[in-house]
Every structure is written in structure tokens, then in C-alpha cells.
Amino acid sequence: MAVRQDLVAGIIDNIRRVFQVVNEHSKLIERETGLSGSQLWAMKVIDNAATIKPSELARRMYLHPATVVGLIDRLVKRGLVVRTRSETDRRIVEIALTEKGMILLTSAPQVPQGLLVRGLENLSTERILMVAEGLDELVKILGAEGLPPQLILSSEVNVPLQGKNPKSDSRKSVTSD
């Protein structure tokens, strides 16, 4: 019985650590940049690409395109990114950092979401499935299966695809190492 209690205590402590790191990083990001973690993460992804289509930004951030549009809107209002239309195809919009955005990034802290994505993407398919199954179980324990997923420490919701089961979709996207 003591082994079981130690395992439960270890799980609870690890959950506390995750919340602690995310909370501390988010406060640091807000204090140093005035941005949410998700906004800063979007800027870092844009910076890595130089210019990027909103749909590609959504794919790289594992967010629904409608969620990314809201992030981009707020960054445009702050003068940190700019939308430009393609000269050859006016339907195509690309996002790029402004000079103000580039300057802000030079001293910006790490983003916990980016660390999570990089770390998860580097795991084998087997390990990703193990993590996914464990988190699915925690969600069930908490009775949170029906909750729309909010961005980390934000009131903004990652809009799921209509008529799709996000849980089953996430498993389909994990096919190889």
C-alpha cells in the first residue's frame, strides 16, 4: 500500500510542478513583455518562419485557425506584427514581425507552451501515446472531458473543429517517430 501512496504523491507533486512552472513563466512573460504566453509564443513561431500564413501558424502552435486569428488581431493592434497580402494572389495573407516586435523578442523570456511542444515532438510515438493516455485519465478523473481547452493561463478557448472529436484527432496525427 505504501508504494501506491508514494506513486499517488509523486503524481500530485509533478502536477504541482507543472502548474508552478507555467504560472511562474506566465507571470514573468506578462511582467517583462506585457503579453500573454500565447501571444509571445505566436511571435516566436512567426520569428522562426520570418513570414507565415495564419493557417501554418495555427498548425505549428497546435491551435485552431480561429484561435490564431484572435491572437494575431491583438498583436497587430499592439504594432508587433503586420498582415500583408500576396502580390500574386490577394487571397493569401502572411504575418511578419514588425521592427517593434523584433525588438521585443530580443529580451523576451522562454514560453512554456513552446517548451512543451518541442519536448513532446521529440518523444517517440510510444512515449507520446503514454503521455496522452495518462493525461486523458487525469482529465476523466477531474470530469473535464467536455470542457473546451483554454490557452494556458488565458480565458481564450482553442476552438475545436466542429463535429470532430479532438481526442481521437490528436491520436490520428501521431503516426511515426
Q: Is the pTM of this model over 0.95?
A: no
Q: Is the pLDDT of residue 115 over 90?
A: no
Q: pLDDT-derived band of residue 176, with 50, 70 and 90 as boundaries? A: very low
Give the model's pLDDT for residue 155. Answer: 60
pLDDT of residue 86: 84
Q: What is the pLDDT of residue 174?
A: 34
pLDDT value at residue 164: 43
pLDDT (mean) for 21-43: 91
Q: Domains in the chain, start-ordered, CATH in brackets?
A: 2-170 (1.10.10.10)
What is the residue-wise DSSP string for the chain?
-HHHHHHHHHHHHHHHHHHHHHHHHHHHHHHHHSS-HHHHHHHHHHHHHSEE-HHHHHHHHT--HHHHHHHHHHHHHTTSEEEEE-SS-TT-EEEEE-HHHHHHHHTPPP-HHHHHHHHHHTS-HHHHHHHHHHHHHHHHHHT-TTSPPBPTTSS-B-PPPTT--HHHHHHHH----
